[in-house]
Amino acid sequence: MIDLNALTAANAKRWNNAKLTRNFTPIAGHLIAPAAKARYQAVSAKTGVPWAVIAVIHQRECSQDWTGSLAQGDPWNRVSVHVPAGRGPFRSWEEAAIDALVNCAPHAARNKDWSIGRTLAKLEQYNGLGYAARGRPSPYIWSGTDQYRSGKYVRDGVYDPNVVDGQPGCAGLLMAMMALDPTITFTGATITPAASVKPIPAEKPATPSIVNPSKGSIGAFIANIFNVVFRRKA
């Protein structure tokens, strides 16, 4: 039995230390594109699952293919044959996604803690806790970061320690998405932009002088007399 609190803490620590080892930006750009984001947000509004989490599940399960179900990548317009099997057919990608998050394990819609550690633990549950049982970081989460080197279940129940997962992991995807879209945040997890524009300081008023006396000063009074005299002579 996996201790989810321990897994949450472990993934939060890995997140704080993680560095990307692949370029996630192109994929992240597709996931946060306005049209895609709107569809993820529509499902988020029905389930309470953050839209960015829905996006990375969609990427991992079917490479963001809108004909594939969020649950396991099977076509949503037919009855699914892979686990969870027997789901559908559905009328739309959104309907299938809502079913996956509400009615299928690990029932992400029931989760109320979307801190980064718990978010990553929930995503790991989505794929299975076999890696946690071995004390290994899950490639489903950490592939493409320095927190993962090798090891993959090549089929049900068969683990190969030498295989490297080539898919982008959920953590790396979230990091890249957060760098591109600052509206994506998780409790205690933010990405600082690589460069920020410094505000232009307000222009300081000129220092009072003989040619520029401060208002109401003796210098201003004398300057006013000179102006009047020289205007009359002109």
Residue 190 in any domain: the answer is no
Are both 131 and 228 inside the same structural domain?
no
Same domain assignment for residues 170 and 231: no
Q: Are residues 71 and 160 in the same domain?
A: yes
**Structural domain includes residue 189:** no
For 94-112, the pLDDT digits (tens) are 999 999 999 999 999 999 9
Do 55 and 132 share a structural domain? yes
- Does 150 lie in the same domain as 209? no
What pLDDT is attached to residue 114?
94
Q: 147 and 211 share a domain?
A: no
Task: Identify whether residues 52 and 162 lie together within a single domain.
Answer: yes
Residue 33 in tokens: 């594109």
Asked if the structure places residue 161 within a domain, the reply is yes
Our count of domains for the chain comes to: 2
User: Where is average pLDDT lowest: 24-38, 77-91, 184-198?
Assistant: 184-198
* Calpha distance 234→106 (Å, rounded): 91
196 within some domain = no
Residues 165 and 92 both lie in one domain: yes
Dmax over Cα atoms in the chain, in whole Å?
A: 104
User: What is the pTM (predicted TM-score) of this model?
Assistant: 0.78
- Asked if pLDDT for residue 76 goes beyond 90, the answer is yes
In a domain, 195, yes or no: no
The answer to whether position 45 is within a domain reads: yes
**Percent of the chain residues past pLDDT 70, beyond the cut:** 80
Q: Are 137 and 173 members of one domain?
A: yes
Residue type, 23: N
How do residues 190-224 score in pLDDT, each as one tens digit? 443 333 323 323 333 344 444 445 445 455 444 45
Mean pLDDT of the chain: 84
What average pLDDT does the segment 19-25 reach? 96
Could you tell me if 32 and 79 lie in one domain? yes
Q: pLDDT per residue over 142-198, tens digit each? A: 999 999 999 999 988 899 999 999 999 999 999 999 999 999 998 755 443 333 323
Does residue 90 form part of some domain? yes
Are residues 221 and 127 part of one domain? no
Q: Which domain holds residue 44?
A: 4-180
More confident site: 230 or 149: 149
Residue 199 lies in a domain: no
Q: Are residues 119 and 52 located together in one domain of the fold?
A: yes
